[in-house]
Structures are given as C-alpha cells and as structure tokens.
Amino acid sequence: MNEIKQISGTAIPLFLDDIDTDRIIPARYLRCVTFDGLGEHAFEDDRKQDPSHPFDQEQFQESQVLISGRNFGCGSSREHAPQALMRWGIQAVVAESFAEIFFGNCTSLGIPAVTCSRDDLKEMSATVQADPKVAVSVNIETLAVTVGDKQYACQIAESARNSLTSGRWDFLGLLLEKQDDIKQTAGEIPYLNSFAS
C-alpha cells in the first residue's frame, strides 16, 4: 500500500458535534452490494434540509480535508460512511474527537482522522469560511495541520499513524502472515477444544 504522510489541498468546514453515521449516509443508501455511487449521497438528508450546507456550496466542491467537531462518526458501524466521504473527495478528517468504529474504518481506507483542540478547530473553520481557497494540509509525520500560514498541533493514535506513514495499512495481508500463531492461539482456547482443561 502507498505511504500516507500528508494530505494537501483545501478544506470544507462542518463544525458540529456528534455527527452520526446515519447523517453521513442515510440507511436507505445501504441497500447495495458495492460501495459505488455513495459519494453523491453524503449528508443527503442534511443537505435537503439546509440549502446552505457546506457539501452543496460551490467553493467547497474540490475540498480534501473535512473539519468537524466532537465525537464525529458516532453511531452505526457502517463503513459506508467513510466510503461516502472518500468517494465525495474527502481524504482526511480533522475533528475534536472520533467515535472508535468510525476511526478504525477510516484507517482501513487510508483516511487519516486527526484530532485538534476545539479552539484551534474553531479558528481553522473561520479561516476556511472566510477564504475557501486557503491552502490546507494535514501532516501525520509532523503531527501538524496547516491552514494558510498558521500551523496547529494535531494528534492521531500511534498505531494508525505508524500504519499509514509506513504504507502498512493492508491489515488483511499482515494478519494472514501470522497463520501459525493464529492456529496456536486457537489450540489454547477452551471453547474451541471441548473445554478440555
């Protein structure tokens, strides 16, 4: 897999808390057997109810970095949520915090999900609102989010950072390297061995 160290481009601000995965991709679009076409339905119901939703604004259409608030991606485990964002064009998410399953799903897809302080997010969001073309980058090697000429500290779980920056985020392949260890562990689990002590 490719090494993912920095995402650069422009940002789209959606500075709200507790954005759940039903809002990111409504359940009716989960009636599918592939992830194709999910991008156009990202935040569909929110967009219909809010004509000024950032995902519909011309100036944010080419954005790569999503800025949000606390507990982003809470709720359902649906990988359709980060898939929808990715297929819309998002390559990195910056928020105050993430729900765990969503965070894991992002890492599986090669999307860095980094956290920043609330005050910093507020400032970034305001900067991007005022100047949608301002250059934004998320660097998980240096743990910095840059917005124009301002730099902010960010964090990401070391395991995710390590996997992404080293290009070792094909977890399926890595897991399968340990076939002998897997079988050995299985041999020691009581319920797999008739509870023999």
Binding-site ranges for another protein (CB under 8 A): 16-18, 20, 22-23, 26-28, 30-35, 44-46, 48-49, 70-71, 74-80, 97-101, 104-105, 108-109, 118, 157-159, 162-163, 171-172, 174-176, 178-179, 181-182, 185-186, 188-192, 194-197
Distance of alpha carbon 42 from alpha carbon 110, whole angstroms: 18
Strands 136-139, 113-115: pairing kind: unpaired
Q: Supply the minimum distance, in Å, between the C-beta of residue 13 and another protein.
A: 14
Q: How many CB atoms lie within 10 A of CB 99?
A: 20
Which helix H or strand E contains 92, and what residues bound it? strand 92-95
Q: Supply the minimum distance, in Å, between the C-beta of residue 49 and another protein.
A: 7
Q: Supply the minimum distance, in Å, between the C-beta of residue 92 and another protein.
A: 18
Q: Of the two residues 32 and 135, which places its CB atom closer to another protein in the complex?
A: 32
Q: Of the two residues 24 and 136, which places its CB atom closer to another protein in the complex?
A: 24
Q: Of the two residues 8 and 20, which places its CB atom closer to another protein in the complex?
A: 20
Which ranges in the chain belong to alpha helices (H)? Answer: 21-24, 44-49, 80-88, 100-108, 118-130, 158-165, 171-176, 179-186
